[in-house]
Structure 1
């Protein structure tokens, strides 16, 4: 298991670890794998800052892992996918959505149980159009997840006749997001698309303080 027990996605770790442990339990209750009991090893994927996933992956591979479950973050998975698949080991993510994986040269060893951002972006765009939102601002984290989803939302939304009046990519490590929020406020969009992780806790209060969002 290469899943987050630290970093911005640490809140996802407990249920993801539990899901893998449940799968192992059910496999073993049904005879194991080729007559042997399945076992699991835990490793922390982190969130890429600092980039601990490669060394944690080495721990899993040296421990004899046949399958690596993870990572949760698309950018973290991209930092280790070559290391895993080139070792002849399968990788399965429960959360990666980046379009970077759609045609990745993985020797047929990478899998994910979450849909690509192509689908996610299309659904988000169609929801906005159906809700009558003619102009939107996009505020997304600058990484493989945020950029891919933001691009797909923009593409499908504009194809449907909507207008993206502000397109902002931000650093997840920024001390504040005042500049991005003010740029959005100046355009007065019908809706704001926020693609973020834990930094949402800083961004949403800033949006509200700028007079944006619900409650008007």
Structure 2
């Protein structure tokens, strides 16, 4: 099978392809709730799946595809993979997005899922090891997906708040690039307290993150990021990284509103919000992200540099656009000037449009990756420490063709912006034939129909 290919050389090749002039890299969590209500009452397949197909013009092979791409979340992914293994002998190579990186999935599916490979934004910044040690010491466990991005989001906001000298969203916005982009005193998770004190004293600082160098480009996206290629480890109920590689995206040119000076300010209480999923479909991911987001707060409060303390307010998005917006409004009412969140693009976009932007509050998402976030008319209030999906589609296409050795695929994606945009980006950059592109809704009792179509030969 293609899985016998030596994979170590792959990331070197994709690294070259990935060095494109993009807004950032990409990968991940969209929203289980935007697009498609899961009712199965749309103009779609009989199981509620919208069957949007792309004919690759391959001439109608008598065989099905050599691989599948699945973009979605655990809630629907469990049933989808149960139906897949009931319909197939598992000979197809399957590539999944990071939204499906749940170590418990093989046990819930009832299959070790040995033919599944995934991609995900990774912790590949200059301070990755310092963050890993900090998280391990605090929680006696290893950090998980998007935890480094969550830590970086709050750390940057606290540095920007200290530099601004006030709990003002606009003032913090104007300091975000000052504290994150070159130059000044280098600040890491290991010396965050000293960095906050320096910023409060009006000194230039340059935060070097755990997830990346955390240099913001014009769109407020990371100008570089790392990706991991991972596989399920059913025996240990874990996911194992196979490879990690850094990629460059857009230039950190400092464009966008940025203050000419750093006023600083001491002996006061800073305020920050944390808007992440404690419940809902992304709760298993959200829990460790919340833990990571609370670490910078604890560091500052334990040390009180320059007489500074932090009041952090946590709200649960419930992985829902409506609940997330209501939670964001609670943060607005509390006077929070900046927020770590939200996690999913389907929540982040309405939260940004309805709460953050009109109230001039900085939002810095650690895991919202959809292209639509970059396109927001946000007056530069919306940032993220997670890369955009512009590159993840390209990375996934290279993994499928070069690492897994597959030249024909069908793509199944959750029926929302995240799924549609990432699936489209994959299809644009895949060096092979795409037999079908199939959208599916969350919450269906069966995905047999969409699986059967995905495994079928291309239409003539």
TM-score, scaled to structure 1: 0.79
The equivalent of 1:61 in structure 2 is 332
Secondary structure (helix, strand or coil) at the match of 1:139 reads strand
The equivalent of 1:122 in structure 2 is 394
Q: Does 1:170 align with 2:440?
A: yes
Deviations 1:139-192 (A, max 9, x none): 1101121111111111111xx3x111011111112222111111012238xxxx
**Structure number with larger C-alpha Rg:** 2
Q: Does 1:132 align with 2:405?
A: yes
Deviates more, 1:2-11 or 1:101-110: 101-110
The equivalent of 1:17 in structure 2 is 290
Q: How far did 1:23 drift?
A: 1.4
Q: Does 1:186 align with 2:456?
A: yes
The equivalent of 1:71 in structure 2 is 342
The equivalent of 1:36 in structure 2 is 308
The equivalent of 1:210 in structure 2 is none
- The CA distance in 2 between the partners of 1:89 and 1:35, in whole Å, is 24
- The CA distance in 2 between the partners of 1:42 and 1:5, in whole Å, is 10
Q: Does 1:112 align with 2:381?
A: no
The structure whose residues are more often helix, as a share, is: 1
Deviations 1:87-117 (A, max 9, x none): 1110011101100012321111111111111
Q: How far did 1:35 drift?
A: 4.0
Secondary structure (helix, strand or coil) at the match of 2:313 reads coil
Q: How far did 1:31 drift?
A: 3.9
Secondary structure (helix, strand or coil) at the match of 2:312 reads coil
Q: How far did 1:27 drift?
A: 3.2
Q: Does 1:102 align with 2:381?
A: no
- The CA distance in 2 between the partners of 1:172 and 1:184, in whole Å, is 17
The aligned length equals 183
Q: Does 1:143 align with 2:413?
A: no
- The CA distance in 2 between the partners of 1:187 and 1:38, in whole Å, is 58
Deviates more, 1:102-111 or 1:88-97: 102-111
- Given that 2:410 and 2:455 are in contact with CA atoms closer than 8 Å, whether structure 1 keeps it comes out as no
The equivalent of 2:140 in structure 1 is none
The equivalent of 1:198 in structure 2 is none
- The CA distance in 2 between the partners of 1:167 and 1:2, in whole Å, is 33
Deviates more, 1:23-32 or 1:64-73: 23-32
- The CA distance in 2 between the partners of 1:187 and 1:63, in whole Å, is 56
CA RMSD of aligned residues (A): 1.7
Deviations 1:57-76 (A, max 9, x none): 11111111111111111101
- CA change 1:128–1:5 in 2 (3 A) is same
Secondary structure (helix, strand or coil) at the match of 2:436 reads strand
Q: Does 1:152 align with 2:152?
A: no
Gaps of 5+ in 1: 189-216
Higher relative contact order (CA 8 A, sep 6+): 2
Gaps of 5+ in 2: 1-273
- The CA distance in 2 between the partners of 1:185 and 1:84, in whole Å, is 43
The equivalent of 2:15 in structure 1 is none
